[in-house]
Amino acid sequence: MPGLCGKPHCVTLLDVGEETPKRQLIDIRLGGRLDQLVEDRRRAGASWRKIAHEISKASKVSISFETLRDWFADLERAA
């Protein structure tokens, strides 16, 4: 699949919520509870930054709050 510039080596845009290898790894390391963890923490009022920090620490996989927010865009719209 060509990237943004039309060449194979360019960055491609992923559909919102698409399972990236990084998301899969984090979910595995969290025992399959990534979605529930994020939903629960957002309902409790935690910021995206705080949740990203907690997930990075627990999974030992660095994740930015922007990426997390992109992955859970539907959750953001519902808030």
On whether residue 2 sits in a domain, the answer given is no
For residue 19, name the pLDDT band (cuts at 50, 70, 90): confident
On whether residue 58 sits in a domain, the answer given is yes
Nearest to 75 by CA among 29, 46, 28, 43: 43
On whether residue 5 sits in a domain, the answer given is no
Model confidence over 22-62: pLDDT tens digits? 999 999 999 999 999 999 999 999 999 999 999 999 999 99
- Residue spans of alpha helices (H) in the chain: 21-29, 34-43, 48-59, 65-71, 73-78
Considering only residues 17 and 46, tell me which one the structure prediction assigns the higher pLDDT. 46
Number of domains in the chain: 1
Considering only residues 29 and 3, tell me which one the structure prediction assigns the higher pLDDT. 29
On whether residue 12 sits in a domain, the answer given is no
Q: Whole-angstrom Cα distance, residue 65 to residue 51?
A: 8
Average pLDDT (56-75) is 94
Backbone angles phi, psi at 63, to 5 degrees: -140, 135
What is the domain extent for residue 56? 21-78
